[in-house]
Structure 1
């Protein structure tokens, strides 16, 4: 079936969302820090320009899963849904919105990827406050209206473990490939038949891949949702439950979505389900991504040599790699390219070549003193 709307819907969605944002520019006064156990606020980072980071004011002992967010209207104001996102953060999540606080202009899906990149890097930076404090194996992408289209666009990122679509749906049948490539659980939270995105969201629902775990909840509030209400209102309440289930393995929270007697069933929410099982939300520690490394000497002369190392991902994607390099006695590295030295005999990926798809390779090289033959290399992936 052809999409019910094309350019007219794009114009209407942007117009409606802009109106919502205009009236919601100063959200209703929220309880300080949200209702969760970890009072939350927002901050910015020089390492992640044009974004707003919502975090517990005091980082809890538990590691924080990550939620990256596209605003309604693809707004460049990272405070557009601040009550909603601060509420989520107060329950032990790091939520990162596209756009600087009170920023302007429009955002892109690439900014969601930048948020994921930043979180992964900060979790691995020894001198950073988020070092080993984030659970970067549990990342959700979400967005409202135009921001939902941004979330769809990054749903194929192997680091994204679930996608959440709020009052949004693909605008063109030509974009249905984004549905066909979905492999991780997805949830829709829509504003009912009065939501301008309702027809397209329901059309997307019918086209999801067979066997994909999916939830659809409709609350009859229209396109504007409840984001500006105290603590983000009902949309924030159910978003927290969903994220607790999918990113923290909280099966009590998962009971709100699964089965004929689910917690949202028979309430003001109109519920649809596909392929949902309660244990499907339980995190399991994924096996470490494997990688291999091969070493070769490119040139050797009296007192020096040039060598290269090829790093190859195994059957799973690699989001970073480290190579332990055992050089012959008396040999040492004098210069290095396409990698970063992190200690004697150890190098890690550069910022641009750490992410490898299954079977993909990258190469770094170095010039050394001494003799290059007989070196050993061992790769460890993250």
Structure 2
């Protein structure tokens, strides 16, 4: 049964109280336990957020993990040990809320985090230019923050969702479960977790065929976020993100199969439709500073632009694709891409561009913020579609 309204309020109150108690968490290993010691920073272009990143950016592109805090509290360092640990393994982590901030967050702040990462990856001269893998994005959250992660799970840029000690509070919100198309993982604090019945109810209502993992650790609603390096929740979160966002099959063995790594541990495990080869391809190296695409360009008009089309994900009945646009030898003030979709395919949603039409030949023009490109500079737009994404063609014209 769903939690009552009174218990729902208790979830938020309890989580907020736990955050207050953990305001000075146990000291973690400097920068986390991963190969890239990490810390946090802020950005004037992303107010009221906290950005965790390796102190020295590695050569590999960083997948993106956006996080909603327990209690929907606007304190981006409320789960600092946990989030810094994840970042130290080669991820850009963006938490809603300023460092030691106050107030409340909304699910829109997670969307703002994704928007910012996409824009920064395309901003020439910025430290993240070409250094982020914005085709691999995870949304996650604890307690009330888990509800925020559910709310953005339908964003086509989100490639996996992670729910920590959370579950939908009433049946009217079950549409959020029905629209799930990408792998999801639940990490719950066992039967003593106040969110346990809601999470179990959600588990039983997931779409047929959806890859899903449920792990219960008997630690209650407070989890292990304040422990050194995020404790056991930090360890399993890193493994899931390595598998789903980096294609690390070794990490995937913790979750998939009857003999999975967590199956014979302190975790109580349930699985649905998990196949070890269901990870993603490892990230490619960063785009060279010139921004020139390294894969097959479809057009280049000298003073115009070139475009490269890539299918990022394909499933039965749908796909996600991206188009990289690169200016030629002359700066652009605008660009236009003619996207020729295969028969039966259509665009259902598109970001970082403005589309005219949804099937056949679709024209995509720049947004106000990504039309001006210096010579050799690139930007990217993406879209989700129905049908099969393979075989599309693109041509680019610059203005």
Change (3 A) 1:9 1:355: farther
Does the aligned pair in 2 maintain the 1:68–1:142 contact within 8 Å?
yes
Q: 1:58 & 1:125 partners in 2: Cα distance? A: 19
Q: 1:148 & 1:55 partners in 2: Cα distance? A: 22
Partner of 2:262: 264
How far is the alpha carbon of 1:13 from its aligned partner?
A: 0.3
Secondary structure of 1:192's partner?
coil
Change (3 A) 1:313 1:124: farther
What is the 5 A alignment of 1:69-218?
A: 69-218=67-216
Q: 1:211 & 1:261 partners in 2: Cα distance? A: 21
Q: 1:59 & 1:312 partners in 2: Cα distance? A: 34
Secondary structure of 1:342's partner?
coil
TM-score in terms of structure 1 length: 0.80
- Flag structure 1 segments of 5+ consecutive residues without an equivalent: 292-307, 324-335, 360-376
Secondary structure of 1:238's partner?
helix
Does the aligned pair in 1 maintain the 2:49–2:95 contact within 8 Å?
yes
Change (3 A) 1:19 1:309: closer
Does the aligned pair in 2 maintain the 1:66–1:93 contact within 8 Å?
yes
How far is the alpha carbon of 1:347 from its aligned partner?
A: 11
Partner of 2:236: 238
How far is the alpha carbon of 1:14 from its aligned partner?
A: 1.1
The alignment of Structure 1 onto Structure 2 pairs a total of residues equal to 330
Q: 1:33 & 1:275 partners in 2: Cα distance? A: 35
Is the counterpart of residue 340 in structure 1 residue 364 in structure 2? Answer: no
Q: 1:338 & 1:123 partners in 2: Cα distance? A: 13
Question: Could you tell me which of 352, 372, 385 is aligned with 1:320?
Answer: 352
How far is the alpha carbon of 1:212 from its aligned partner?
A: 0.2
Partner of 2:44: 46
Question: Could you tell me which of 269, 281, 284 is aligned with 1:283?
Answer: 281
Does the aligned pair in 2 maintain the 1:40–1:54 contact within 8 Å?
yes
Does the aligned pair in 1 maintain the 2:34–2:85 contact within 8 Å?
yes
Q: Deviations over 1:134-161 (max 9, x none)?
A: 0011000000000000000000000000
Change (3 A) 1:290 1:263: closer
Question: Could you tell me which of 59, 62, 65 is aligned with 1:61?
Answer: 59
Change (3 A) 1:90 1:259: same
Secondary structure of 2:158's partner?
coil
How far is the alpha carbon of 1:250 from its aligned partner?
A: 0.5
Q: 1:125 & 1:216 partners in 2: Cα distance? A: 38
Does the aligned pair in 1 maintain the 2:40–2:53 contact within 8 Å?
yes
Question: What do you get for the CA RMSD once the two structures are aligned?
Answer: 2.9
- Flag structure 2 segments of 5+ consecutive residues without an equivalent: 284-309, 313-320, 324-334, 356-366, 387-393
Does the aligned pair in 2 maintain the 1:139–1:160 contact within 8 Å?
yes
Change (3 A) 1:252 1:338: closer
Secondary structure of 1:239's partner?
helix
Q: Deviations over 1:142-182 (max 9, x none)?
A: 00000000000000000000000000000010000000000
Change (3 A) 1:259 1:151: same
Secondary structure of 1:225's partner?
coil
Q: 2:339 & 2:279 partners in 1: Cα distance? A: 31
How far is the alpha carbon of 1:290 from its aligned partner?
A: 7.4
Q: Which has the larger radius of gyration?
A: 1
Q: Deviations over 1:171-228 (max 9, x none)?
A: 0100000000000000000000000000000000000000000000000000000000
How far is the alpha carbon of 1:9 from its aligned partner?
A: 1.8
Change (3 A) 1:339 1:103: closer
TM-score in terms of structure 2 length: 0.77
